[in-house]
A and B are shown apart, each in its own frame.
Chain A
């Protein structure tokens, strides 16, 4: 059923997520990688290769940023490679770790994702002005929030969704994050707070958006033979998936993320999942904006198109609901150091499936979880399916 070797997650590590950490990117990588290795009871000597993930170099002002991070990610004199798919990088870095081990080339792979956004002045959002086509888009002064407001508008229009329904996601995730020791923006807020927050670009308001953050995350992957020797409760990576849509986002209908569905189907096929809502016990879809959680639940085939707001209203997506969504607090609550935020979701699924999530633990002994991230010009989906 699987590749040459089955791959397990055997350890995870996470730094604090903060607006402006004192630590450098290298130091954050070290912290997360060390924590992941310690939790697996391994040292760098046991590591065969390193997969590293980070989003735009423009944040740090460092060209070939991966090369800059080799030592701090534990890759000294080891095979090292950096994968990079915009906002989808975090989850995708774990996918990259998977093929390092599943190929049979390495017994272990250290997966590190890091983002240091605060070094970009005056605001990290400015770095995103360089992701647009220099001829067609940049002259408009396009920003990320601008294009996401178009997408949110389209999604609301097609399904007749109200702002109040979408705001519930922000309320839920920020409350969930109160239980996360690394979280940046855990808070008890109400739907009114979201609706009364500053308008950034209608219909996107301040509390609809995740913050900018510094942070790093890491996981240790091992082949079946190694995993069984070092841990009694490995979490298996049973499916990986990724997909990209056309560059020309202006030619697409933004109401539905086809590329997420394509990525999800790839991962589900690998994991032999036929009925996602039934078979998946906990999910961490990418939620840099509150509407994106809903959008991605639909893309992940966890519900029908346009049904996600209803499930949220009914409390199905709460931590104690039938289908807990973002029990970690997601990007809206824990923070959004882009690549690290995606890998944080993989860490969360790992802890949830091991029953180690503490106060965040979802009830009912979850066995199957999925994490997903999204990136590029509303164009990229990366997915990972994990099982206990």
Chain B
């Protein structure tokens, strides 16, 4: 584990304080929960990330979670055994190889005999759930956890295939990313964007990832490299697809009152939205990311953002496939439809551009962390807003938007607007 610990200081060890045997007296776990009640703004007060690696044979998923949790609790200055009102873990059974995954969660994140549950979705929808819990006024501090141990999944594409409808779609077989290939074809057909624009996204994100110590797949490559990498599902080539990575992320949220007591660098959730388009691929609009458009509408409305292009300083968005960064930029109204390719070509989406996009390296550069991908976008956004991003720091970042898509074959996504300023 020490390899990761070096990535960002050395977290103070809290082992003694939260690895405890199940207490037998009820008073122990009742005394602090649900005390402070306010229904105002919600802030992120702590983030913990293990960093990402293509494989992690030296640690189990439990150790990844423990490390991320330790870092987040240290960052937020909280003791999970006393200060946290609810815990959320975001996981899907088939990724984990267990049924009922939350069984295996409480001990390593300090949630034994406390209020933990699973949201079977991406971490950002877990974040939305935490946001709602705090907004009810009954919870002051909530923890969200998500992780990836994708390297343990030896039949990754077969598992993805299991998410297809068992009668209508699964029997078609093939590599499941054919669905993304079809979508990319339709998207490029409907817009001004080109195949080369997509490749440019890969070049940009992998290059930026080289300056991010957490990233798993940074590289110096050219547009030619992308276009000449082996085809997966036309027009998608291997380098257009984000490779998976292992890692864990934990985020601590707090209500306004609690945040003011606990931290002097809160990052406020100004808006959050999530949405699902139809589960039938046959009925979707293949050229557009409807789920992202609707989720963005919800988040912007909550954040009172009328003109995203002007009011958003940077974006951490889903680029699980190269064309997705362009499609999602347009869905988030950060540019007009069909304009994202041109922006990318002109370098506007670089770290020093007018609208930095995926200044962390995105999923293409950092690695696709399955259900942790959304929390990772949020984590990077928080680091940027706190000016703690290091070499890939964006200048003068005040408001950022993070977005995620759950991947093939789903049509579910989420959007979060984060800011250093209270509403």
Contact = CB atoms under 8 A, between A and B. Distances in A.
Contacts of A78: 275-276
B406 interface: yes
B63 interface: no
B114 A4 contact: no
Give the 4 A-B CB pairs with smallest separation, nearest first.
A3-B136, A103-B135, A63-B162, A103-B132
A258 interface: yes
Nearest to A24: B167
Nearest to A261: B26
B113 A131 contact: no
Secondary structure class of chain A's binding surface, majority of residues:
mixed
B29 to A, nearest CB: 6
Given A75-B276, A103-B133, A83 B118 contact: yes
Interface string B257-280: 000000000000000011111111
Contacts of A55: 100
Given A56-B99, A131-B99, A4 B136 contact: yes
A329 B296 CA distance: 45
Given A99-B132, A243-B114, A251 B104 contact: no
Given A61-B166, A62-B166, A68-B165, A83 B111 contact: no
B92 A63 contact: yes
B277 A77 contact: yes
B49 to A, nearest CB: 23
Given A79-B273, A81-B129, A86-B103, A66 B278 contact: no
Contacts of B18: none
B103 A242 contact: no
B211 interface: no
A306 B125 CA distance: 41
B52 to A, nearest CB: 22
B97 A376 contact: no
A263 B86 CA distance: 12
A244 B98 contact: no
Which of A69, A98, A133, A379 lies at the interface centre, i.e. has the most chain B CB atoms within 10 A of its CB? A379
A130 B98 contact: yes
B45 to A, nearest CB: 19
Given A85-B102, A128-B99, 4 more contacts: A4-B137, A99-B132, A131-B99, A244-B117
B276 A67 contact: yes
A127 B99 CA distance: 8
Contacts of B163: 62-64, 67-68
Given A58-B99, A62-B166, A86-B100, A76 B277 contact: yes
Interface string A241-260: 11111111001110000110
A350 interface: no
A131 B100 contact: yes
B239 interface: no
B113 A57 contact: no
Contacts of B129: 81, 83, 96, 99
Interface in B286-307: 290, 294-295, 298
Contact of A243 (B115, B295, B298): B115
B22 A63 contact: no
B40 to A, nearest CB: 10
A80 B276 contact: yes
B98 A134 contact: yes
B135 A262 contact: no
Interface of A: 2-4, 55-58, 60-71, 75-86, 92, 96, 98-100, 102-105, 127-128, 130-131, 133-134, 241-248, 251-253, 258-259, 261-263, 265-266, 269-270, 375-377, 379-380
B227 interface: no
8 contacts: A63-B160, A64-B410, A84-B119, A103-B136, A247-B107, A258-B22, A262-B114, A376-B103
B103 A247 contact: yes
Contact of B104 (A66, A247, A265): A247
B160 to A, nearest CB: 7
A272 to B, nearest CB: 12
A102 to B, nearest CB: 4
A253 B25 CA distance: 13
Nearest to B135: A103
B276 A247 contact: no
Contacts of A105: 132, 135
A62 B33 CA distance: 37
Given A57-B99, A105-B135, A67 B412 contact: yes
Interface in B124-153: 125, 128-129, 131-133, 135-138
Contacts of B159: 63
Given A56-B99, A131-B99, A243-B115, A3 B137 contact: yes
Contact of A83 (B105, B119, B165, B280): B119
B242 to A, nearest CB: 18
Contact of B33 (A58, A247, A266): A266
Contacts of A86: 100, 102-103
Contacts of B135: 3-4, 102-105
Given A258-B26, A266-B34, A270-B138, A377 B39 contact: no
A248 B100 CA distance: 15
Nearest to A54: B120
B116 interface: yes
A105 B274 CA distance: 12
Given A64-B406, A245-B113, A258-B22, A83 B278 contact: no
Contact of B22 (A56, A66, A100, A251): A251
Which of B106, B128, B166, B411 lies at the interface centre, i.e. has the most chain A CB atoms within 10 A of its CB? B106
A103 B139 CA distance: 11
Nearest to A252: B22
Contact of A57 (B22, B93, B132, B294): B93
B278 A242 contact: no
Nearest to A133: B104
B170 to A, nearest CB: 9
Nearest to B158: A63
